[in-house]
Amino acid sequence: MPGRKNFKNFIKNPGVWLWAFWAALALFAAAAAICALILGVLHPAACVFYAVCLALSVYCISASVRPVRALITRCINSNRLLSHMAADYGYRTVAFSVVSLAISTAYAVYQGVLGLIFLSAWYGLFSGYYLVLSVLRAVIIFRTRKSEGEAGDLKIYLICGVMFIVLSVALAVLVTFLIFSGNDSHNSVIGAISMAAYAFYKIIAAAVNAVKNRKYGSFALQSLRNISFADALLSVFALQIAMVATFGGGENMGTLNIITGAAVFLITLGMGIYMIARSARGLYKLKYAGGVQGVRQNMPQSGGKSPAEENDGR
pTM: 0.64
Q: What percent of the chain stands above pLDDT 90?
A: 17
Mean pLDDT of 116-123: 83
Q: What pLDDT sits at residue 183?
A: 65
Dihedral of the alpha carbons of 213, 214, 220, 225, in degrees to the nearest 10? 60
d(CA 7, CA 59): 15
* pLDDT tens digits, one per residue of 57-76: 888 888 888 888 888 888 87
pLDDT band at 161 (very low <50, low <70, confident <90, very high): very high
* Nearby residues of 265 by Cβ (< 8 Å), 6 or more positions away: 168, 169, 171, 172, 175
From its phi and psi, is residue 15 left (phi > 0), alpha (psi between -120 and 50) or beta?
Answer: left
Domain ranges, ordered by start, for the chain: 2-78, 84-309
Lowest-confidence segment of 2-6, 123-127, 173-177 by average pLDDT: 2-6
Lowest-confidence segment of 30-34, 162-166, 208-212 by average pLDDT: 208-212
Nearest to 274 by CA among 171, 172, 164, 167: 164
Evaluate if residue 270 carries a pLDDT over 90. Answer: yes
DSSP classification of residue 185: -
Mean pLDDT of 74-81: 78
Q: What pLDDT sits at residue 292?
A: 46
